[in-house]
Structure 1
Amino acid sequence: MFELCDITAGYDRRRPVVRGASLTIAPGEAVGLLGPSGCGKSTLAKVAALLHRPDSGRVVMDGAPMGPGDGWRHRAPRARRTAVGVVFQQPRLSADPRLSLRELIAEPLRATGHRRSDADARAEEPAAAVGLTAELLGRRPHEVSDGQLQRACLARALVLRPRWLVCDEMTAMLDASTTAALVAVVEDYRREHGAGLLAVGHDHVLLNRWCDRTVNWSEVAED
C-alpha cells in the first residue's frame, strides 16, 4: 500500500498549502485526484513523490513509514527513491536543456550507479515504449515539441521500473492524440508490473476514464 496520512505541507509553515490530507493507493490501483488549480494537489503529489518534506503527517510505502532521519529528495534511501516515478505538467521545467533525450531518459540510471553505456542502452526500451525514434533521442529539449519532450519525461519516470507512479497533470499541455498515447503507455506499464498510480488533474472526464476510482480534493484534505 501507499499511504498519505494526515499530511500538512507547504512552503511557509504559517500558511500551509495542504492541510490534513489523507489518501491510500493499493498496489496496481489507479487513483485519480481531482481538484481546481491552486488547491494544493501538486504539493501533495510532490510529497507522494518524496520531493517535498511535509510539515506533519506520514508517508507510508509498502508498510514502511518514512522516518524523520530518512531524508527527502536525493537524500531519501535509494530503495524508496527509486520505487516512485514521477511525471510533471511542464516538461521544459523538469528537463535539463543540456541533455539529449537519450541522456535525459538514462539520467536516473546514471544517478544510481550505472555506467553511461549501460544506462544509455537500458534507456532504449522505455524510449521505444513511448514512441521516440532513434533520431529524436539524439535531440535536445529545444529541438523537440512539448509532446515529444513529455514522452521522454515519461520514459525517464519508467526507466527504473518503479512500483508507484505519480502523474501530476501529465497531459495538461498535450493534444488529444498524445494524451491518449501516453495514458496507454502508463496503463501498459501498470498491467505488466502491477504498479500503483496517483494521477492528479482537473479533467474529470479523463480521470474517470483512466482511473479505477477518482476522489475530489474536498474528500482528501481539510478546507
Structure 2
Amino acid sequence: MLELSRITAGYDRRAPVIRDVSLTVADGEAVGLLGPSGCGKSTLARVAALLHRPEAGTVRLAGETVRGYRFRAPRALRTSVGVVFQQPRLAADPRLTLRELIVEPAAATGRSRELAGRAAELAEATGLGASLLRRRPHEVSDGQLQRACVARALLLSPTLLVCDEMTAMLDASTTAALVAVVEEYRRQHDAALLAVGHDRVLLRRWCDRVTEFPTAEG
C-alpha cells in the first residue's frame, strides 16, 4: 500500500527535518508512528499523504511510484489518501459550515450531488446532528470540528488514512468515538492506516504494530 524509502524532507534544504527514514504500511494494516513533539513525524506524515515533496527518497503508493505532490499528484492517487490533522481549526476553512466542510472533497472533484447521501451518513456516524452541520468552525468545539474533519477525510472512500495526532486535542470520550469511526471504516473497506502520535498506549491499542521515529523501518 505505502512504501516510504530513505526519505529526506524538510522546509529548508540546508537543514532537513528528517533524514533517510523508511516506513511501510501494508494493505489493510494499521501502523503507529510514535515519537516526541518536534521529531519530524508530522513532516513524514505529510510526505505519506502526498502533501509535501521530499528532497530525496522514494514514495510508492498502491504499487505506483509517486512523481507529483499536492495538486500535481494524479487524482486517483491523491484521492486514495484521507488525512486528519492534529489541529482542526488550521485544517478547516472558517467560512464553511460543517456540512460544506464535509463535502469539500466532493466539490473539488465535481461529485457533490453523487456523494451528498454519503456525507450525511458520515456526519451521523461521527456524531454530528443537523443543527451542528449548519454551524461554522468558530461556533463549535474542537471535538465537534474534528468530527467533521474525520467525516471529510472518509468521504471519497480512501484506501489509506493518515491520522497525524488526530486525537491530541480531544477528550477521552471524543477520542474513543473517533477511533471507533475510523476502525469501523477500515473494517468495511479494508483500508490501511498510518497513525502518528506520541501516546504509546493509544497507538498500541489502536494499531497492528508501532514503530518509533526516527528509526522507522517497515
Q: Same fold (TM over 0.5)?
A: yes
Aligned to 2:63: 63
C-alpha separation in 2, matches of 1:33 and 1:151: 22
Aligned to 2:203: 207
Aligned to 1:130: 126
Matched position secondary structure for 2:36: coil
Verify: 1:218 aligned to 2:214, yes or no: yes
Post-superposition, which runs of at least 4 consecutive aligned residues in structure 1 deviate over 3 A? 117-122
Verify: 1:73 aligned to 2:70, yes or no: yes
Residue 185 of structure 1 is aligned with which of 170, 181, 184?
181
* Structure 1, gaps ≥5 residues long: none
Matched position secondary structure for 2:103: helix
Alignment of 1:33-72 (within 5 A): 33-67=33-67, 71-72=68-69
Residue 119 of structure 1 deviates from its aligned partner by 4.4
Alignment of 1:1-223 (within 5 A): 1-67=1-67, 71-115=68-112, 117-220=113-216
Q: TM-score scaled by structure 1?
A: 0.95
C-alpha separation in 2, matches of 1:194 and 1:134: 29
- Are the counterparts in 2 of residues 167 and 197 from structure 1 also a CA contact under 8 Å? yes
Matched position secondary structure for 2:7: strand
C-alpha separation in 1, matches of 2:72 and 2:35: 30
- Are the counterparts in 1 of residues 84 and 166 from structure 2 also a CA contact under 8 Å? yes
C-alpha separation in 2, matches of 1:137 and 1:121: 14
C-alpha separation in 1, matches of 2:157 and 2:114: 16
Deviations, residues 119-143 of structure 1 (Å, cap 9, x unaligned): 4443111111111111111110011
C-alpha separation in 1, matches of 2:114 and 2:134: 17
Residue 113 of structure 1 deviates from its aligned partner by 1.2
Q: TM-score scaled by structure 2?
A: 0.97
- Are the counterparts in 2 of residues 103 and 120 from structure 1 also a CA contact under 8 Å? no
* Structure 2, gaps ≥5 residues long: none
Q: Which amino acid aligns with 1:110?
A: A
C-alpha separation in 2, matches of 1:5 and 1:142: 40
- Are the counterparts in 1 of residues 39 and 214 from structure 2 also a CA contact under 8 Å? no
Q: Which amino acid aligns with 2:169?
A: M
- Are the counterparts in 2 of residues 102 and 120 from structure 1 also a CA contact under 8 Å? no
Provide the aligned C-alpha RMSD in A: 1.1
